[in-house]
Structure 1
Amino acid sequence: MKLLLLPSLLLLSHWVIANQFTNPQVPIREAQISTPLLRLHKALIEIESISGNEHEVGKHLVSYLESHNFTVETQDVPAVASDQRPRRNVLAWKGKQRKTRTLLTSHMDVVPPYWPYKREGDEIWGRGSVDAKGSLATQIIAFEELYAAGGISEGDVALLFVVGEEQFGDGMKKANDLGMSWDTVIFGEPTEMKLASGHKGITGLQITAKGKAGHSGYPHLGKNANAMLIPALHALLNVDLPWSEKYGNTTLNIGRVEGGVAANVIAEDAKATIAIRIADGPPEVVQKIVLDTIQKAGEELDVTFTAGYGPVFINSDVEGFETIVVNYGTDIPNLEGDHKRYLYGPGSILLAHSDHEHISVSDLESAVEGYKALIKHSLK
């Protein structure tokens, strides 16, 4: 029996080895789900962290970083709503030296609604897979791999992950109270792994109309707030706004319109919220054009502007990277200081904020190398 058993075991072992690489039912790529990068990315996506609800993802980041021998400091950021749990910015570095030359930073919050994690071959789907948990995970892994290889040392690089970027930027604004400064800050956002040389500015506004309710059969006895608002919106859609060679046209998006309660009731209240992406000049110039246009519509409307900023210059002087200009906003204007700033990350903004947000495994892996190159350049 012993003579029969040995050949049987040899045959079995050869079958296992052969099928490990040839069985079409088990793609080799699937084994990569166990890499540190993909495990971290998956864990971050699986935690719902819509703006204002970043408590759990922040807790996970602290746990992860501490377990990987980072020194971690947290900073409380006021809750958006009274019924929400505390949320915190997370600052981390290696060793005892809090002050570093370079900072890697991204945001842990995402836009609604939550979409769960899903893997389809080389693609990873889910809310935040692109914006910006792809950047967050690849920044951490790039730091860890460089540090382990001796490419960076204590005092070279820190990590900062903030809350609230998708709403008011309150996390990064609060980070100004950390009392820190850096020579270079590398911001993580989806740039298709190109270096952004700049992004548009932004301002926002809300237009409110107050009418008089009544029965729709007797419109002369009331005043329709919707009818007051619509001419102003139509005029804004046709107004000429500033443009530039680099950033193109200033664009205006009527994001939300609300008004009235029923078809047979004269609408007493109506309002619209608008976002404007600025291609040239300060927000005050665009705001004046908008206000003049609304006033010419001839209705009594209340207009409230939100704080904004003009186009943002970003450094892009690193060899080996393509460059791009982006139309979205970032936390770059919210972080005070005289530092070089770079904007880079995996994934496309065209997939972010959508129900088909996804990123490829290969892009995540490439972004790790991209961040390493940017870190090395910043420390020259």
Structure 2
Amino acid sequence: MLWIFYILPLVYCQQVFNFNTDLHDYYVNGQSMLEFHKNLVDIPSVKPSELAVAQYIEQFLSSNGLTVELHKAAENRYNVYAFAGDERNSKILLTSHIDTVPPFFPYSIDGSRIYGRGSCDAKASVATQVFTYLSMLQSGDVVPGDVSLLFVVGEETDGVGMKSVGHSYNASWEIGIFGEPTELKLGVGHKGILMCYVNVEGEASHSGYPELGISATEILLPVLNDFLTSDWPVDELLGPTTLNIAQISAGVAANVIPPFANASIFFRVSSDLEALDKKVRSKLDGIEHLSYDIPFESAPVYLDYEVPGFESIILAYATDIPNLYHHNLTRRYLYGPGTIHVAHSDHEYVESKDLVDAVDGYKKLIKYNLEY
């Protein structure tokens, strides 16, 4: 029976990589990009538990001869910064994020699709950026000072990783290439964000005597209806501003006048964040028993996208790009394998061919900008 211990690993490896028989996988120093991507996906990295995947990337890049640093962004949460030799500065920064949304589910394969949390968003970008850089260094297409790598935590939540990229890195970059699912197209731009929490404090009473209480829901519901039926800013390029009334909570029992009601409202902002902020506040100011908080907002982002050989795409999601405000990049690109339409879902996946094609795409972007 000893033979089974030798045969099973071979069968497993063939099953894992049999979709790639008609593809050109990337190998660097005998290491496979597809296997590296698998290892990334199989390490859970839902906030705030990104440390293990950061350490794995650090070890992998160090073993391939890069200078690698872990930079603390928050307690037990570290960004990974890597470059060739002693050249901390580079013309181009390749960057993506290593955190994922919950819940974690492991790597699996079905035909040409690679499933798993983060398989698309954004460990596909991380893996392809790593192998793009290593293969270009190996071939001599880039030299120290041309490109560096930055992988951050917290993109899916508070942006703490990218926001922490400040002067402590002692590095500068001219051009940023940000990795996210873009269907292998260059992002024209993406919408911004405005988050608003609305809270109503009523007064409980017996539901048979509503005049003795203050119904929090009767105050909140007309406000939400007003938001749903209002017109919001529209941009010719990014389209309409959209809102999502994501969470509603109210009351204690069916026969009690509700003493509280609250809701969270999430805007995808396509135009004029300042005007939107004023309009939201004007609808909420002065309503008795109602309070609100706008804890986070970011403006729409417009990007560089006119590069020969690339299609473009307009994106409704937000990214870490506005959080890299410490550095005045002259050009910013958004590009990566996979589609946002399956990211964050319970069936997140990336096409295996997209991983290979993304390396070619990143190489073209790098070469274009080095020659620009």
| Same topology, TM > 0.5 | yes
In the alignment, structure 2 segments of 5+ residues that lack a partner are: 1-13
Aligned to 1:137: 127
Which residue of 205, 213, 223 corresponds with 1:214? 205
Aligned sequence identity (%): 44
CA distance in 1, matches of 2:241, 2:214: 34
The total of aligned residue pairs comes to: 350
| Structure 2 letter corresponding to 1:354 | S
Q: Is residue 39 from structure 1 mapped to residue 35 from structure 2 by the alignment? A: yes
Q: Secondary structure at the match of 1:263?
A: coil
Q: Is residue 352 from structure 1 mapped to residue 343 from structure 2 by the alignment? A: yes
Q: Is residue 87 from structure 1 mapped to residue 83 from structure 2 by the alignment? A: no
CA-CA distance at 1:307 after TM superposition? 3.2
Aligned to 1:376: 367
| Structure 1 letter corresponding to 2:70 | T
CA distance in 2, matches of 1:373, 1:204: 37
CA radius of gyration, larger in: 1
- Tell me if the contact between 1:235 and 1:294 (Cα under 8 Å) persists in the aligned partners: no
CA distance in 1, matches of 2:354, 2:79: 26
Q: Is residue 303 from structure 1 mapped to residue 299 from structure 2 by the alignment? A: no
- Tell me if the contact between 2:26 and 2:131 (Cα under 8 Å) persists in the aligned partners: no
CA-CA distance at 1:227 after TM superposition? 2.3
CA-CA distance at 1:25 after TM superposition? 9.6
Which residue of 313, 322, 336 corresponds with 2:302? 313
How large is the Cα RMSD of the aligned pairs?
2.2
Q: Secondary structure at the match of 1:351?
A: coil
Q: Secondary structure at the match of 1:379?
A: helix
* TM-score after normalising by structure 1: 0.87
The range that moved more, 360-369 or 172-181, is 172-181
Aligned to 2:183: 192
| Residues 89-128 of structure 1: per-residue CA shift (max 9 Å, x gap) | 1100111211111110000011111122111121001111
Aligned to 1:12: none
* Superposition map of 1:276-295 within 5 A: 276-281=267-272, 283-295=273-285
* Superposition map of 1:76-225 within 5 A: 76-79=72-75, 86-177=76-167, 178-225=169-216
Structure 1 residues 25 and 370, CA gap change in structure 2 (3 angstroms):
closer
* Superposition map of 1:49-60 within 5 A: 49-60=45-56
CA distance in 2, matches of 1:195, 1:357: 21
Aligned to 1:246: 237
Which residue of 243, 254, 258 corresponds with 2:249? 258
Q: Secondary structure at the match of 2:129?
A: helix
| Structure 2 letter corresponding to 1:310 | A
* TM-score after normalising by structure 2: 0.89
Aligned to 1:3: none
| Residues 185-210 of structure 1: per-residue CA shift (max 9 Å, x gap) | 10000000000111112111110111
CA distance in 1, matches of 2:26, 2:200: 56
CA distance in 2, matches of 1:38, 1:27: 8
CA-CA distance at 1:221 after TM superposition? 2.0
Q: Secondary structure at the match of 1:370?
A: helix
| Residues 35-61 of structure 1: per-residue CA shift (max 9 Å, x gap) | 611111111111111122211111111
